[in-house]
Each structure stands twice: as structure tokens, then as C-alpha cells.
Amino acid sequence: MRLDGWWAEGHYVWRTGSGPLVGGAHRLVDAAGALRPPVTVSRDASGALPLAYAGHPDGLTYLLPFLEERRAGPAAAHRTEQTTAGTTVGTAAGTTGRTTGRTTWRQIAADAAAPDADLIAVGCSHRRALSLPTDRALLLPFRLSLVVPVHDGPEAVRRRVSRKDRQQYARERERRAWNVVPGTADADFAYFYRRMHLPTMASRHGESARSESPSVAYHCLFRHGALLFLTEAGRRVAGMLCRYEPATRTLVIRLAGVLDGAEGHYRSPTYLGLYVGVLEWAARQGLSAVNLSGCEPFLSKGIFQYKRKLHPRVTLPADHFGGKRLWLRARRDTPALRDFLVDNPAITLDEGGRLHATYFHDADRPARTGLRWRTPGLAGQRLVDLDAFLAGAPADLPARV
């Protein structure tokens, strides 16, 4: 392997590895960085809901952009939240500015960090999360993994899909002559990366898009996984680049795209065909599971709602994110804050480590139960009255994990 291949593999393992050595190294680095945690305040033109994020720096990649999108409201966020696998980072549209500084854990606990923010999110270790106040606060996993078992074969995979989507898949597979075909040549990788993945990321996320570099995608995914194309009547229209994890016999979906990022493929069942086809392919290979990749712990996350159609098991990630938590605290009772909490039901942790869908509501804002939660790994739902929660009452929410 060339030097760039070694660098790419080391970089990838550091970010996604799940072994004890990688986990221990992350804990040491995190402990050093947590001595004076960074804090970022985000504002939009309306000034109605200043947000703050403090703690683990990966929250600036995954969490804060999501919160900024959701601050703009469900309709605006839907325009940027699609079903594409991949990584996005950057300031959401409508955000006018961010300011960054340093704080202390004592200031965070005393509500003195970023005091002008109405909502603060803190990414930290499990142990640190237990030391923070519990009033007006939620305890969430930092990220989630969505995993579909495939060891029972293709028929069982199809039965996991809802009846309506299963019928649509069968109908469209026949009509469009769908097939999933592996790509094994370097030219196949280049075609996927340049003609499918990059155009799709640009189309969906614009300047805020960020993905794996060509070197990492080639050496760490293509050379250690599978590139799978969805064809229609023999023509490649979409693809997924996956990493194979032999220890668990799991295929991990990392990058995806449609041909030339064409908007029409998002208006058609192409993505449904791609996901179900890849699950069936993995089942035929005798694999145990397909990891659909991670997402933020909110039911309003579009990727979560789309992938929920496949009834994945929701779990804590196997990598270093699995030991991290997200402490979310309401600072002030404002209409914008109430709207935000109702619009974005959270996936929270209880004292036994179980995951729950948590919906807020008040007299003027009904719980947004149209954002469905039922899928393996979620123990149930909780309905929380905002008046009691914002007054500091426990509101029957678990305070600790």
C-alpha cells in the first residue's frame, strides 16, 4: 500500500474504529480537550432562538448544523434534509453568524456558558453528563446507529419493509428491471465517485457538503468493502459504497449517490430500490447485518424517518461515539424555544440505558406524533408537558443513564 493509502486507513480507523485501542486513545484525547471545552453560539437573522453548542468538537460537524436547519422550521429544514448517505458540515442557510470561545464545566453547569443562548447542547462523556443538572434538561445519545439484520435471507429482508413500500418495490422492480450489480474495477469507483456521489452531495447540500476524500473512499471503502450499483434495464442510475467489517460480518453503508445528482431520482422510488436491493444483496452473501450509518438523535431527522421504513434496530454506535452523550438544556421559556422542542422530538436515554421517543406539547402545540418512532431498539414513547418541563419539574423524564 502506498503512503497515501496508509494515511487514509489510519485516518479512517481513528474516526470510525471500534477496538479497545482506538477507544482508549479517544478517551485520552477527549479528556485533554475537555479541560477548557469550546463553546459556539449560533444566531440567525430573526434572533428568536440563539443556539449554543459546547464540548466535543464533532458536534460542530454533526449536531450544530442540524439544530440550525431545524431552527429555520420543518419546511425549510426539509429542503436540505434528504435521504442521501454521506456527511454534511457547515453553517445552515439562514444562520447569520457563529462566535466561538472557551468555557469551563463549572460555567456550563451554572448556566454561565454562552448566557445569551436560549438552548444549549453539550457533547461530552457519559460520566460528565451525569454530573450536569437535570432540570430543564434532556439526556440523549450523541449519535445513533441504524442496523438491519439480514442473516435470515432476502425474503426476511423484504418482510421488514412496510407493506405499502414492499408492494411498491416489487412493482417498480418489475417495471424498471432493477438489479444490483457490484462494481469491482477502479473505473467503476471513479464513475461512482465523480458521476454519482459528488454531484449528489453538491445538489443536496451545496457549499455545506463534506464527504470522504477520494483517497479515503478508495483505500478504506472500495478496497475494503463493496461498491454496489442499482441498474434500470442495465443502466447504472444509483450506487452505494460500503465498508465490510469482518469481525461482525456487517456491511456499513458510507457513501451514496444518484447519476449526476439528478433531482428526478428523488421524485422516483430509486432510493427505495437501492436500499432494499443492497439489503437483499448482503443477505445473499451470507452477511449478518447492514449498518445504514448514523444520525442525530431526533425523530425530525429526515434520514431517520426515511430509513425507519426498513425497520432497522436503533443502537448506540460501536465506535467511540457510543460512549458519548448529548446534554440538551432549555435556558429560557420563549415561543421559539417551545416551537423548536415540539417540532423536534428527541430520542432520549433512561436510567437503564433504554432509548425512548420523547415528544413535547403544551396547550397550543400538540405533540408531533406524526413523526413516527416505532422500530426495533426504541422502548416506547414519552409525552412531556412543556409547562412543567420549563418550570423545572422532572415531568417524568429520567435524569440519568
Condensed to tens digits (0 to 9), the pLDDT of residues 207-218 reads 666 778 999 999
Burial 152-162 (b: 16+ CB within 10 A, else e): eebeebbebbe
Percent of the chain at pLDDT exceeding 90: 71
- Ordered by start, the domain boundaries in the chain are 34-144+318-390, 151-287
At 72, the pLDDT band (50, 70, 90 cuts) reads confident
Q: Is 307 left (phi over 0), alpha (psi -120 to 50) or beta?
A: alpha
Query: Is the CB of residue 46 less than 8 Å from the CB of residue 71?
Result: no
What's at 76, amino acid-wise?
Answer: A
Query: Is the CB of residue 195 less than 8 Å from the CB of residue 260?
Result: yes
Percent of the chain at pLDDT exceeding 70: 84
pLDDT score, position 265: 77
Of 159-173, 187-201, 245-259, 327-341, minimum mean pLDDT range: 159-173
- Supply the pTM of this predicted model: 0.88
Query: Is the CB of residue 143 less than 8 Å from the CB of residue 321?
Result: yes
Helices (H), 246-320: 270-284, 302-307
- Assess whether pLDDT exceeds 60 at residue 84: no
Residue 47 CA: distances (Å) to CA of 50, 59, 70, 98, 117: 6, 22, 14, 12, 10
Alpha-carbon distance 301 to 318, whole Å?
21
For the chain, give the mean pLDDT. Answer: 88
Range 151-287 has CATH code 3.40.630.30: yes
Alpha-carbon distance 177 to 43, whole Å?
49
**How far from chain centre, in Å, is Cα 379?**
19
- 359 or 162, which is more confident: 359
CA atoms within 13 A on the CB side of 72: 20
